[in-house]
Amino acid sequence: RILITGAFGQLGTALTEALINKYGSKSVVATDLHIRDTFNCETLKLDATDLEALDEIVRTHQITQIYHLAAVLSAKGELEPLKTWDLNNSTFFNVLEAARLNDVRKVFFPSSIAVFGADARNQITSNDFPLNPTTVYGISKVAGEQWANYYNAKYNMDVRCLRYPGLISYQSLPGGGTTDYAVDIFHKAIKGEDFECYLRKGTQLPMLYMDDAIDATIRLMDAPKKAITRVGYNIQGMSFSPEMIAEEIRKNIPKLTVVYNPDNRQKIAESWPVALDDTPARMDWGWEPEYDLKRMTEEMLYRLDQKKRTNAFMHA
Ligand code: VAH
């Protein structure tokens, strides 16, 4: 069975549903610090900093794969650096140890474009570009990739990682990231409200629609081990700046107004690549995005409008 930590986060919400759809509700155990009855699968409260509790779940639920999604994201992480370092690292260590002790071979660890630093900014950053992270979150992702390499080499485990760019999804409101403006702008546009953007107009970043992120994750984890040539794979679906996505939304909602008010997240964004070279992912296990800016915008507006109608109907 598959264990998911952080199942109620932005990635977890979509990935848990996808794993249930693919493997069946009896094959998935969703866990998080705070749980709700959202998923049609076993859902358990778990503080991933508690190795005993994690080990207990892995043992008693015949877990054979772990997707470790619990973490503090980039912007929120900068508010409490040491706590973020401790939480992001101790939880991954616990996952690696619980996996090792219970002979769970396959582990998924979400890495991020945050592993790169300002020296990678103005280029299509290659998978092998030096990792000079500028945030605690990024440091914890570099450390995570290195620990994945260590456990794979020393204990013959099969830990795999994707370096996600900003993820855009309609299923949940993300929190604590630097790329989350690209989700919030849709919610404001649908409500006919002005959007205040915390990044400067020209700040381009690599992004990925959630359906593509889920497809890449499952494709990576399903690939034969011999196809995997590295631990952290760059992937991206598109690269855009705030005014580019605003322009795309205006094709459907012409009156969208954006006010630019850069804050501390500007500096984080400017330390990340403008775009990623994801050739190794394409070569090794067939990565191929389906959503570009146009298609993602149409899909997000359609889904959020649908949710708005359903809510209106439910509360009518
Ligand atoms: C964040 N959405 O902004 C996450 C992600 C690449 C960005 O790691 O922190």
Q: Across residues 89-109, what is the average pLDDT?
A: 97
CA dist 313 and 281 (Å) reads 43
Edge-to-edge, what's the strand order for the sheet holding 2-5? 42-45, 28-32, 2-5, 65-68, 106-112, 158-164, 232-234
Query: Quick check: CB of 234 below 6 Å from ligand 1?
Result: no
Lowest model confidence (mean pLDDT) among 151-155, 171-175, 260-264, 282-286: 171-175
Quickly state the pLDDT bin for 313 (edges 50, 70, 90): confident
Confidence (pTM): 0.96
124-125 and 275-276 beta bridge pairing: parallel
What pLDDT, on a 0 to 100 scale, did the predictor assign at position 71?
95
The residue whose CB lies within 8 Å of the most ligand 1 atoms, and thus the one to mutate among 167, 172, 173, is 167
Is the Cβ atom of 114 under 6 angstroms away from ligand 1?
A: yes
pLDDT at 315: 81
Catalytic residues: 137
Report whether residue 165 contacts ligand 1, using a CB cutoff of 6 Å: yes
pLDDT in tens, 232-258: 999 999 999 999 999 999 999 999 999
Q: Does 178 contact ligand 1 (Cβ within 6 A)?
A: yes
Per-residue model confidence (pLDDT) at position 27: 98
- Give the rounded distance of the alpha carbon of 315 from its chain centre: 32
For ligand 1, atom 4, name the residue with the nearest CA.
177
User: Is 179's C-beta closer than 6 angstroms to any atom of ligand 1?
Assistant: yes
Pocket flag, ligand 1, residue 113 (CB < 6 Å): yes
Mapping DSSP to helix (H, G, I), strand (E, B) and coil, where does residue 43 land?
Answer: strand
Ligand 1: residue whose CA is nearest its atom 1: 177
3-class secondary structure, 125: strand
The CB of 89 under 6 Å from ligand 1? The reply is: no
CA distances from 79 to 6, 73, 76, 182 (A): 20, 11, 6, 21
**């370092």: which residue's tokens?**
85
Q: What is the distance in A from the centroid of ligand 1 to the CA of 170?
A: 16
Check residue 174 and give its pLDDT. Answer: 72
Tokens of 48: 């991933």
Residue pointed to by tokens 């995005």: 289
Q: Please report the atom of ligand 1 found closest to the CA of residue 178.
A: 3
Per-residue pLDDT reduced to its tens digit, 46-70: 999 999 999 999 999 999 999 999 9
pLDDT in tens, 25-50: 999 999 999 999 999 999 999 999 99
* CA atoms of 5 and 32, how far apart (whole Å): 6
pLDDT, position 102? 98
Interface pTM, i.e. ipTM: 0.94
The rounded mean pLDDT for the chain is 97
Q: What is the pLDDT of residues 191-227, one digit of tens each?
A: 999 999 999 999 999 999 999 999 999 999 999 999 9
pLDDT of residue 30: 98
Mean pLDDT throughout 89-104? 97
Q: What are the tokens at 20? A: 């249930």
Q: Whose CA is nearest to atom 7 of ligand 1?
A: 166
Among 134, 178, 180, which residue has the most ligand 1 atoms within 8 Å of its CB, making it the best to mutate? 178
What is the per-residue pLDDT for 152? 97
User: What pairing do the DSSP bridges indicate for beta strands 42-45 and 65-68?
Assistant: unpaired
Compute, in angstroms, the gap from residue 177 CA to the centroid of ligand 1. 5
Q: Which of 239, 243, 245, 230 is nearest to 281 (CA)?
A: 230
Atom of ligand 1 nearest to the CA of 135: 9
Per-residue pLDDT at 316 exceeds 80: no
If residue 138 lies in a helix (H) or strand (E), which one and from where to where? helix 136-155
Handedness of CA 129, 280, 166, 79 (dihedral sign): negative
